Amino acid sequence: MKPKTKLIHGGINGDPQTGAVSVPIYQVSTYKQEEVGKHSGYEYSRTGNPTRHALEELITDLENGKAGFAFGSGMAAISSVMMLFNSGDHVILTDDVYGGTYRVMTKVLNRLGIESTFVDTTDIANIEKEIKENTKAIYIETPTNPLLKITDIKSVSKFAREKNLLLIVDNTFNTPYWQNPIDFGADVVLHSATKYIGGHSDVVAGLVVVNSEKLAEEMHFIQNSVGAVLGPQDSWLLMRGLKTLGVRMEEHEKNTAKIVQFLQGHPAVEKIFYPGIPSHPGNDIAVEQSRGFGGMLSFDVGSGEKADELLKKVKYFTLAESLGAVESLISVPARMTHASIPKDRREELGITEGLIRISVGLEDADDLIEDLENALS
Ligand SMILES: *Cc1c(COP(=O)(O)O)cnc(C)c1O
């Protein structure tokens, strides 16, 4: 099955009982048992719900994994994955990781004894330097947020295997439509489904896919024990979103390419970060491991004042956190999504006050370019 077909025919389709072509929303918490312990596959909706299950089957298919799990947010998914580890374990993460991931590792999970180190994972030598006796996993984002840095999934997974470490990939930016980390050896893939998978700025959710029966068992145990599950309505909204993920991603990509071309020629733009630019570091790897470059890009206008001015003038780009929706969004990572990262650390990473991130939506590219042109002048 080709990717677009899989989005529509993968997982569980419709309802065999009624012929409904969309999976019903099973708004239910508990299920009748014929006798003690004899049930029709569902006992209690934290443990399993048919609507959530259909979504979990679909994301498993889309990521070419063994089992999928739906959570109440991307952070719930990430935190639940971290529950695979024990007090005293150590995880190495990408340095410009999503701000919330940085926060949960350094302000919450550290209190439970899970240690973390942040390195530039685009170079395996940096990972290798930080390996300790208690290191259990490598956690990467590729492309990263907001600098769109590319890590070579295949090389890191080979390295992780040699060292007996799990490789966890946050695949939010590229979505399963463009990139399937499990195909390159990742053990766990996760998503903030709040972004492209939902796609319409109307649901907060997270998804996890694992590549082995053993991890599937462990994740299901954690999902049921910790209980950060996604409700049936939101599960249904994600399935609805996934049906159009292919056409949406194609359009996001086309619009983004046009905007990149416009920004490249603009004197007010000092630097552009987009994996599709041939000179962008890791462009060759992106071509190798992804079918597309996505709809996220960042550019630097030089200062916080200039960024503020631009934000005041744009009319189609909504100033908001989040990304991956039909409407174009704009943000200043240093003061928004990455505000929880200390200032000196941010500057070290290159997340300057003048760095603007845009999530290119599905409006007409000509309107978006005209909007940016006005705002930059
Ligand atoms: C938004 C985001 C998250 C967190 O997801 P929520 O759904 O907001 O909890 C994690 N990783 C990345 C890359 C994100 O963009």
Q: Which of 73, 79, 93, 98 to mutate to test the pocket of ligand 1 (most atoms within 8 A of CB)?
A: 98
Global pTM reads 0.97
Q: Are residues 104 and 233 in the same domain?
A: yes
Q: Supply the residue whose CA is at minimum distance from atom 2 of ligand 1.
A: 192
Final residue in a domain of this structure, among 206, 223, 243: 243
Among 73, 96, 194, residue to substitute to test ligand 1 (most atoms within 8 Å of Cβ):
194
C-alpha angle 200-24-46 in degrees, rounded to nearest 5 = 85
Report, as residue numbers or ranges, the catalytic residues.
46, 98, 170, 195
Do 233 and 275 lie in one domain? The reply is: no
Q: Which of 208, 243, 278 is the last residue before a domain boundary?
A: 243
In this structure, what CATH number is given to the domain that contains residue 263? Answer: 3.90.1150.10
User: Do 165 and 249 have their domain in common?
Assistant: no
| Same-domain check for residues 162 and 299 | no
- CB of 74 closer than 6 angstroms to any ligand 1 atom: yes
Q: Mind listing the pLDDT tens digit of every residue in the chain (377 residues)?
A: 999 999 999 999 999 999 999 999 999 999 999 999 888 899 999 999 999 999 999 999 999 999 999 999 999 999 999 999 999 999 999 998 888 999 999 999 999 999 999 999 999 999 999 999 999 999 999 999 899 999 999 999 999 999 999 999 999 999 999 999 999 999 999 999 999 999 999 999 999 999 999 999 999 999 999 999 999 999 999 999 999 999 999 999 999 999 999 999 999 999 999 999 999 999 999 999 999 999 999 999 999 999 999 999 999 999 998 899 999 999 999 988 888 778 888 888 889 999 999 999 999 999 999 999 999 98
Instruction: State whether 229 and 277 are in the same domain.
Output: no
User: Same domain, yes or no, for 50 and 136?
Assistant: yes
Q: Ligand 1 in contact with 195 (CB < 6 A)?
A: yes
Domain containing residue 314? 245-376
